[in-house]
Amino acid sequence: MSFELKHGAVQLGEWMVFEGLNLAVESGEIVTILGPSGCGKTTLLRACCGLERLTAGERVINGERWDDTTLRPDVTMLFQQPVLYPHLNVGQNIALGLPRGTPKNEVRQQVKAVLSSVGLPDFETRGVAKLSGGEAQRVAFCRGLLQNPTVMLLDEPFASVDVQRRLNLSSMTRQHLKQRGITTLHVTHDREEAEVLSDQILEWNELFHRNHEAGQDEEA
Amino acid sequence: MFIEGRSRFAGVSLVHWCSVLLVIGLGLGPLTLAFLRLWTVTGITPWAALLQVNEQPGAMDAFRFSLLEATASSAMTIGLGVPLAWAFGRYEWKRLRLKRALLFLPFVTPPIVAAVGFMALLAPGGILYTLGFDVQGETGIIARLSAATGWEHPGHFVALVVAHVWFNLSLMVRFVEPVVAQLDPRWEEQLAMLPAGQTRRGRFQHLWGPVLGPAILVAGTYTFFFSFTSFALVKWLAPSSNTMESLLGELGGSAGISGYRVENSLAVLSIAGFQMVLMLLMLVMAGRFERRHSHVLALHHEQGNRRRHGKASKAWALFVNGTLALLLMPLFTVVIASFRVRSFGANNSGERWTLEGWRRAWNGDFSTVPVMDALTNSLSYAVIALLVALPLGYAVASTLVTLRNNGHRRAAGVLDSLCMLPLSMSAVMVGLGMVAGILRWFPKMFTFPYLPVVPHIMLVLPFVIRLMVPAIERIDPVFAEQASLLPMSRWKVWWHTRGAFLVVPGTMAASLCLAFSMGEFGATFLVVRVGSWDSLSILVDQVASRPKFDPYVVPTAMALATMLMVVTLAVLSINERARTWRNKHEF
C-alpha cells in the first residue's frame, strides 16, 4: 500500500514544526528521511500515524484519504525508545500485537517464531527490564511485525545501539520489511544506517526545497 | 497526543465528571445540610456564629489545648521521625520489609485500640506505671512535674502527646524515607567537592534541607492535623481536657434539635465553623508551600543507594530497633492485658491470668451486641467503603490529572480543593454533618443500616485521591500512545496503560480504606444510633467505659481491642497479598 502526505503542516503551540510538506512512499518501498536532531522528524512520523494532529494537509493511504482523528490498525510505529510494558514479560509484550481473540496456541507459536527470526530464541519468559537496548528494540519490532501492518514508521529505532550492531539490526530490519512488503517511512540522522536500510533517502532540508520547486513548477 | 474519545468535556469522560460531582456532593452535602439545620435551630448565620466562638463555654480552652498538644506532637514526631527515616533510607537493613511493616502498624491500628493500649501501659502493673508515670494517681514523676510547674494533670498531656507521636511516626517515615533513599547520589558527590559542601551545616543548608523540607512539612502538617482533631485518644488518655474535636463530640449529640438546648447547637455551629476554617487555612498554606518548594528530584534506584552506604552503625541499629520495640509495646500490652485480671486478695494488689475476659467479650451481654455482630458490621462497612471509595477516588484523580495535562490547571485546583474538603472537616464534623444534616432533615434515614459507611467513604476519599494523583501523573504517556497503535480492547488498553501501574498505590489506598474504616471512631460514634449497627471500635469504647469495680471490664475491653487489631491486620495482610499478584505468565 502506498502512503502519501499532501501539503502536511504541524504547529505545536506557537512553533510551526513544518508546513506544506509533500511526501510519497510507494507500496513496499522503504524511504528514509535524513535530518539533524530537533528538526521535527519525530513530529512528522507522529503526524503520519495520527498521534499528532495535522494543522493542514491530509494523509492518503492507497489513494484513499484517511480521516485526521482516527488511528489505523494497519499503521504502526516503532518509537526511538522501545515502549515495552514493564509489568509484562517479553512474550506477553509481543502478543499484544496479535489480533484480539487469537487462540493461545497460535499466539505462542507466532511469538516463538518471530522472536527466533530476529535472533532472540527462548526470550519469551524474560523480564523486559533485563533486556539491552538492541534486544528491547528487536522485541518492539517483533510486536510491530505481528500487527501485520501495511505501513510502518520507524523513529530512529537504533539510536541507542552501538555502530556495528546498528548496521546489523538495520540490515535485519530491511530483510523483514522487504519480505513482508511493508511500506516504510524511516527517520534518522545516521547516514550509514539510512543507506543500509532504505531504498530511497530524502534529506530533510532538500525535502522542503524540493516541495518549493514542485510548487513553483505547478504555478508555472 | 490528541486521541479523542466519546462524549468528553475538557478531555474528561462523562462518567468521570459524574464521579467528581458525586464526591463533591458527598463532602459538601451533609456539611451544608448540617450548617443549614444549625442555622435554622439557632437563628444565627454560620458567619455570625463563627465570630462568637470565644463566647462558647470551653471553646477557647479546647482551642488552646488542641494547639499546644498538636504543636508538641508535631515537633516530637519530626524530632524522632526524621532520624528514623534517614536511617531507613540511607542504610542497608536485614528484613527491611518486615521492619517497615512493623513501623506502619501503629498508623493502621484503630485509635481505640491504641487508646486502650496506652491505658494498659499507664495502669498499675503497666510498664510506664512501673517506671513512675502514674497518670491516674499522679504520683512519682508526674507529681514532681506538677509540683514544679503548677500544671494540672501534666500526665494526661504527656500521655496524649506520646500516643500521637506513636501514631504519626510512620507517616513521617513514609514521606521522608523515599526522598532519602531515592535521591541521585551525584547530587551529594558533587556537593562534597564544592566549598559549600565541606561542613555538615553546609550540606544540610544546600542539599538535605531543601530536598527533605517539603516532605517533612507535609508529614508535619498531617501530624498536626491528626493531633489537633484527635478524639478517641483524648477521650481516653486526657479526660481532664478537651480538644475542639472532642468538645464537638460531646456537644454534637444534642445539637440540631429545635427548641432543645439551643445553646449547644450554637456552640457546635461556631466551634465547627472555626475548626473548619482553621484546618482549611492550614492545608491550603501547606499545599502552597509544598508546591513552591518542591523540587523535581532525580530519582535513583533505592537499593543501589543503600548499598553505597552499607550497613548501619551499631548506634543507628540500636536507635531503629529500640524505636520499633517501643512502637510495638502498646499493642503487646493490649494482648497481655486481655488475659490479666486484678485478683481480690487481702490487699487487692495481686493479679491472675484468665480467659474470662475473652469469654465475656465473645458472648456479649444484655447491653452490648454480640462480638460477631459488631465484627460483621465493621467488616461490611470497611468492604463497602473500599468498593465505593477506590473507583470513585480513581475517577476523581484521573479527572484532575487529565484537566492539568489539558491546561485547565485552575479548574483542577478548584476541584481538588472541593474534593479535599472532608479532610479539613475531621471525623466528628463529618459525623455531625450526617447527624445534624441528613438525619435531622431526613429522619427516615435512621432505618438505613449502612448509614455509617457514608462518613467512612467521605473520610477515606481524600486519601485515595492523594495517593492516586501522583501515581497517575508518573505514568509515561508513551505507554498510552503505544497502546493506541496496538490491536487491544478498551479494557486491555486501560489495564496496560493505567491499571497495571496503579496496583501498588491502589493497594496502599485500599489498605488505608480498610484500616480507616475498621478503626474509625469519631464519625461512627456520632452516626450510630441503633445498637445493632455498632462497629467493633464502638463496642470496645462501650465496654471500656463501664465502671471499673467489675475486674473483668478491662480484660474484656482488651480482648475486644485485640480482636479488632487482629482482624484489621488480617484484612490488611490479605489486601497486601494482592500487591504481589501478577498476571499468570502464558509463556
Q: Are residues B315 and B416 in the same domain?
A: no
Residues of chain A in contact with residue B481, where contact means CB-CB under 8 angstroms, are 51, 79, 83
Question: How far, rounded to the nearest angstrom, does the alpha carbon of residue B358 sit from its chain's CA centroid?
Answer: 28
Q: Answer yes or no: is B584 within a domain.
A: no
**Rounded (10°) CA dihedral A138, A143, A144, A145:** 90
Element (DSSP H or E) covering residue A18: strand A15-25
Other beta carbons within 10 Å of B267: 27
Say if CB B216 and CB B176 are below 8 A apart. yes
- What's the angle, vertex CA B524, arms to CA B43 and CA B219, rounded to 5? 95
- Cell numbers found for residue B190: 558533587
What pLDDT, on the 0 to 100 scale, is given for residue B388? 94
Measured CA to CA, the distance from residue A118 to residue B153 in angstroms comes to 78
Q: Answer yes or no: is B300 within a domain.
A: yes
Measured CA to CA, the distance from residue A126 to residue A146 in angstroms comes to 19
Closest C-alpha among A14, A35, A15 to residue A209: A35
What pLDDT, on the 0 to 100 scale, is given for residue B348? 55
Burial of B141 (C-beta count, 10 Å sphere; 0-12/13-18/19+): middle
Q: Are residues B381 and B527 in the same domain?
A: yes
Q: Which of A54, A77, A88, A142 to mutate to probe the B interface, most B CBs <10 Å?
A: A88
Contact between chains at B489 and A100 (C-beta distance less than 8 A) = yes
Q: Are residues B112 and B204 in the same domain?
A: yes
Contact between chains at A89 and B484 (C-beta distance less than 8 A) = no
Q: Is B399 left (phi over 0), alpha (psi -120 to 50) or beta?
A: alpha
- What distance in Å separates residue B9's CA from the closest CA in chain A? 17
What pLDDT, on the 0 to 100 scale, is given for residue B584? 40
pLDDT confidence bin for A220, thresholds 50/70/90: very low
Question: Which CB contacts under 8 angstroms, 24+ apart, belong to B99-106?
Answer: B99/B320, B99/B324, B102/B324, B102/B327, B102/B328, B103/B169, B103/B170, B103/B173, B103/B324, B103/B327, B104/B170, B104/B174, B105/B170, B105/B327, B105/B328, B105/B331, B105/B569, B106/B166, B106/B167, B106/B169, B106/B170, B106/B327, B106/B331
- What's the angle, vertex CA B345, arms to CA B341 and CA B346, rounded to 5? 150
Q: Answer yes or no: is B350 within a domain.
A: no
Q: Answer yes or no: is B456 within a domain.
A: yes
Pick the CATH number of A3-219 from 3.30.70.1070, 3.10.20.340, 3.50.50.60, 3.40.50.300: 3.40.50.300
Q: Are residues B148 and B242 in the same domain?
A: yes
pLDDT of A115 over the 70 cut: yes
**How many domains does one find in chain B?**
2
Q: Answer yes or no: is B186 within a domain.
A: yes
Q: Which of B8, B486, B507, B582 to mutate to probe the A interface, most A CBs <10 Å?
A: B486
Q: Answer yes or no: is B530 within a domain.
A: yes
Contact between chains at B481 and A147 (C-beta distance less than 8 A) = no
pTM here is: 0.74
Contact between chains at A75 and B485 (C-beta distance less than 8 A) = yes
Measured CA to CA, the distance from residue B411 to residue B471 in angstroms comes to 20
- Residues above pLDDT 90, as percent of chain B: 11
pLDDT confidence bin for A109, thresholds 50/70/90: very high
Q: Answer yes or no: is B585 within a domain.
A: no
Tell me the average pLDDT across A48-62.
87
Neighbouring residues of B552: CB distance < 8 A, sequence distance ≥ 6: B341, B356, B357, B360
Q: Are residues B241 and B381 in the same domain?
A: no
- Enter the ipTM: 0.76
Distances (CA, A) of B235 to A175, B240, B245, B521, B585: 77, 9, 10, 11, 52
Tell me the average pLDDT across A89-116.
90
Q: Are residues B386 and B408 in the same domain?
A: yes
Measured CA to CA, the distance from residue A58 to residue A66 in angstroms comes to 7
Measured CA to CA, the distance from residue B171 to residue B165 in angstroms comes to 10
What pLDDT, on the 0 to 100 scale, is given for residue B398? 92
Residues of chain B in contact with residue A76, where contact means CB-CB under 8 angstroms, are 485-486
Q: Answer yes or no: is B221 within a domain.
A: yes
- What distance in Å separates residue B584's CA from the closest CA in chain A? 10
Q: Are residues B261 and B113 in the same domain?
A: yes
Task: Give the SS3 label for residue A123.
Answer: coil
Q: Which of B478, B487, B500 sits opposite A87 (nearest CB)?
A: B500
Name the stretches of chain B with pLDDT < 70: 1-8, 136, 287, 290-302, 343-350, 424-428, 436-437, 439-440, 529-531, 575-587
Q: Are residues B16 and B73 in the same domain?
A: no
Contact between chains at A96 and B496 (C-beta distance less than 8 A) = yes
Q: The domain containing residue B501 runs over which residues? A: 11-43+360-578
Q: Are residues B194 and B324 in the same domain?
A: yes
Distances (CA, A) of B393 to A114, B305, B386: 42, 33, 10
Contact between chains at A125 and B501 (C-beta distance less than 8 A) = no
Say if CB A88 and CB A107 are below 8 A apart. no
Q: Are residues B75 and B219 in the same domain?
A: yes
Q: What is the CATH number of the domain that holds B158?
A: 1.10.3720.10
Say if CB A190 and CB A155 are below 8 A apart. no
Say if CB B472 and CB B466 are below 8 A apart. no
- Cell numbers found for residue B447: 432505618
Q: Are residues B532 and B462 in the same domain?
A: yes
Q: B193-246: per-residue pLDDT in tens? A: 777 777 888 788 778 888 888 889 888 988 998 899 888 788 888 888 888 888
Highest mean pLDDT among A64-68, A133-137, B230-234: A133-137
Q: Mark B14-49 as b/e (b = at least 16 C-beta within 10 Å).
A: eebbebbebbbebbebbbebbbbbbbebbebebeeb
Contact between chains at B585 and A92 (C-beta distance less than 8 A) = yes
A154 or B410, which is more confident: A154
Distances (CA, A) of A201 to A198, A205, B158: 7, 12, 79
Contact between chains at A71 and B485 (C-beta distance less than 8 A) = yes
Residues of chain A in contact with residue B4, where contact means CB-CB under 8 angstroms, are 69
Q: Are residues B293 and B428 in the same domain?
A: no
What pLDDT, on the 0 to 100 scale, is given for residue B3? 45
